[in-house]
Amino acid sequence: MTSPAVWSDAWARAMAAAKADGTAVLDPTDDVGAVPSGPYWVMETDTGLSDRMGAGEPVNQETGTIWLHLMVAKGTGTPAALALRISMSNAFRTTEPPSGLSYFEQHFDPPGLSTDGTRYRFSLGIAYEFQNLPGQTGGT
């Protein structure tokens, strides 16, 4: 399960990067309203591990991936989409995360060129690790 502290930090970084680029970030579980006509991001998480660090240890450890999917209209051009994805990637490399949270690896998933519809998806996966003591805000 993704901790609220992880989601909040990732959301804030993604929102700041998107705002700087003139795009939006959508929460797939929120009431989105109208989907933007231009490029936009969708954020979700994937947790690989959420457990105690060891027998009797009071520290919770969580690992997973923050997924940001850039949705671009067909005809936008790959260079423009890659520039937006690099900007988002940098948002997770340039500032220190809160105590106990670290971002350590990134994955870039190319779009499938046989995708139906009017948009292509350029995905960015940011691996993270989060450790905290039970009872701390955002714990697992």
Structure confidence by residue, pLDDT tens digits, 57-91: 656 788 899 999 999 988 888 899 999 999 999 99
Distance of CA 82 to the CA centre of its chain: 16
At 122-135, the pLDDT tens digits run: 999 999 999 876 65
Instruction: Say yes or no: domain 4-132 is CATH 2.40.30.260.
Output: no
DSSP helix/strand/coil, 54: coil
Asked if 18 contacts 24 with a C-beta cutoff of 8 angstroms, the reply is: yes
DSSP annotation of 75: T
State the Cα–Cα distance between residues 21 and 14, nearest whole angstrom: 11
- Distances, alpha carbon 86 to alpha carbons 2, 8, 14, 70, 82, in Å: 24, 21, 12, 11, 6
Q: Specify the DSSP class assigned to residue 136.
A: S
Is the entire prediction scored with pTM above 0.85?
no
**Rounded to an integer, what distance in angstroms lies between the CA atom of residue 42 and that of residue 69?**
5
Q: Where are the domains of the chain?
A: 4-132
Predicted confidence at residue 8, as pLDDT, reads 92
108 in Cβ contact with 85 (< 8 Å) = yes
